[in-house]
Amino acid sequence: MNESNDMKGVLTLRLSAPDGSVVQELRPKNRIVVSGRTLVAQLFAGVPGGQPPDRVTHMAVGSDATPAADRQTALLAERPPRKAIAEVSYVDFDETVNNVTTRRVRATLKAIFDFADANDPAVPLREAAIFTAATGGVMYNRVVFEPVTKTNAFKLTLLWDVTF
């Protein structure tokens, strides 16, 4: 029997008007970068003779559309501020691939960029990531998506599903 523990993530990016109506919604898949894979390995097994890493705590957005790559450790054009992860939930489910069913766990993380956050009507958002800190820290993943114009007329909600 073979088992695969391919981590994967999908971002639901939701731009909402003040009345709560959804103006734009995207669902791009992300790339878990090497620093993120190392983070998970160190959280699992520890760091011999060293300080254990911090868990993920913040999400960030930016404006660069360069494709995500394994060795990236930061967003390429981050737009402050990073937002704290406001909610986390977990669910387990069955995933069947090639007639083999595996029980998976999905963590869903939520962060909200309110009406006054990350605005620039001239430069749309094109990238997002999850980090272990409000500044600096370890980048777990990176996703590039279709342009999203964020102004003070909209709230941006990021719902990140990460499957283990």
What pLDDT, on a 0 to 100 scale, did the predictor assign at position 2?
57
Residues 118 and 80: beta-carbon distance below 8 Å: yes
Query: Structure pTM?
Result: 0.93
Question: Which pLDDT value is given to residue 51?
Answer: 87
Q: Domains of the chain: which residue ranges?
A: 8-45+53-163
**For residue 115, what pLDDT is reported?**
97
pLDDT tens for each residue of the chain, 164 residues long: 555 668 899 999 999 999 999 999 999 999 999 999 999 999 999 998 888 899 999 999 999 999 999 999 999 999 999 999 999 999 999 999 899 999 999 999 999 999 999 999 999 999 999 999 999 999 999 999 999 999 999 999 999 999 99
- 60-81 burial, b for 16+ CB within 10 Å, e for fewer? bbbbbeeebeeebebbbebbee
Give the pLDDT score at 7: 87
